Chains A and B, each alone.
Chain A
């Protein structure tokens, strides 16, 4: 069922394949099993191990790529997304930190109008463990298993999944949606896929203060009636009001996006909200059988 979200053997191209990070991450993704068929770059790279093209359109036409992972600087992400849409790509993951929010708004409108799935603005990417990854979710935290994972924070989800894997709990699909306020794929968007997937027997959410995504997620859980156990960890209880705590989306103001509103909404939807990483790991261990 998760194939409807993303097929594990989808042909992937890399935009920004010759940059420092693009080149090394491409090698890692290939090593992990991702079907990388092309790179797009304005310049040549004698060390490239994948076919390089000047434009997305050319790369997609020559290789049949349908998905793209974008490794360009933050101010160039919008242009890269626009180019990918024009080339007929229908699944885009962007990983650069610091995409301006007005650019993200434009990208959101463009991808939605074109019927393209966008995971970003700034995310460590996604993985179908044991099969492929787009982005750089760390291998030490990945293992095939039964948990559907979605996360706003990279590092916190690395830690959580690393410890779950140690206890025998791997993932069916892990999507880093990112810590931005305006983003392509939100927590709630993923619920129908996890709910319908027979291999996913539990859902782990790594959320944080700010915005209303966790509240929308609670509504989606209620609507999906998926009946699967849901575990949530929400960071930022003690964040300073009025200050950006690393993530642009993690800024609280007045009474919107606090841990209290999020916890209440998720509990209402039947989720188990844990106050600490340790208690989340224990909650999963008590409820579920390791894969």
Chain B
């Protein structure tokens, strides 16, 4: 990462591409543009006497393709779990489609053309039909089909599966399938950069658990980058620099260094509680969505999981997982965390999170989502509740309901929970009969009625992302109004204060699991308002703990009082930032984090 005068002399311009940060980390290295190895297919005539050997070639290739997929399937099951690995099973089934393979062999015999041409032509017919369908699901299916097709053709052409990188590289590609990500991760991959994809794509989740920096959604990175180009990937900011200038390299180098040092310093905190100098302990836990993340939590010294997003089980699925499939995951999480606790949030689908087979809505954020879906589908809800209950035998499991907007929903959910318990009892299946339940407070009506809701449950957890969106009527993904999404808007802060006090009046604990919980600028205020628990993205754990350990509760209370007297977000933010800068100067605040 030294300065590179040649680059500057040769006049290569630095180009910055902006994408979406999918996995944290910084790396500088040569690009490897992975062109998906789309095999070239030429039409060749064959003699009638060659038909038999051509068909034999196809059969051998299909068998090899299946062997490859079986290998990927097993590796994926190991890395991702049986549920997520199912996408590879569908591909294996296509290889075993006797109608398809029969048609291909028949065409080879009749048309006297080479196998790869017929394979491509026959499968493309189906692909086109899928691409013509209006829904995204069918398009994804078409991409899967491409994968299968290319795998057969490559094997017909007797080419080896490409999975070797020469030395360390940043892999650049249009998209990365889970198979690609897994295969590359066995090499010296420094980072992933893709044209398409979001942070919830399989590849993104996988790179996070593999701790390889990734930036996705770069649009046309593959067109602008050539293999061998020097790249700098910033997985915090979500940017790629092509031919990074000496200045860029230096600043990224420093940033990487700063994070490394910071993380090392904070690692010393791992074994210590999140306790203020005047001995107020804040329960500090994490938001996770995969059992793979548990190991990382251990390193960070987290006490537990304040939000387990169960809907991650639905990613890439076309139907809800069965009770047994869910139990497999929940049980793994509960056992992995024991003796620490985990809060399973029941499926929060709808809004921007598509449910299998969900309906199109005019206004999904005000529509059929969260607990509303589950109460309308008691069959699905009971499946999930039984699966969670079955995972609760070690008494470290809690349940939380999302998107509650009135008291009836809480009562109805409790009745269904009792029903689920009764069913298990009838079958003689053990569970924690006194399992704690809570409600996520993220709808303004629930915030207003927090005390009445608190009377029904064992804890409340404030979901700030939605609470702010609904309270301020701002969609932060809408660029025209995004600036109005104010985390520190006085109305937001007063609502938070109201919720915490309501819970405390009813003698239950109140936590927070939205993004605000992991914002170092907000920590002092939240502690001062009396928050009992903060559940944050695992990477934020150390710095939030550091802040909690740096400020006395008594001072935090005074600061919170002062904040509540301010009337605009600007004043509040400025004041709170200055508090952190003065009291915990080593914390890198937002602009340095580049997030």
Partners in one complex: no
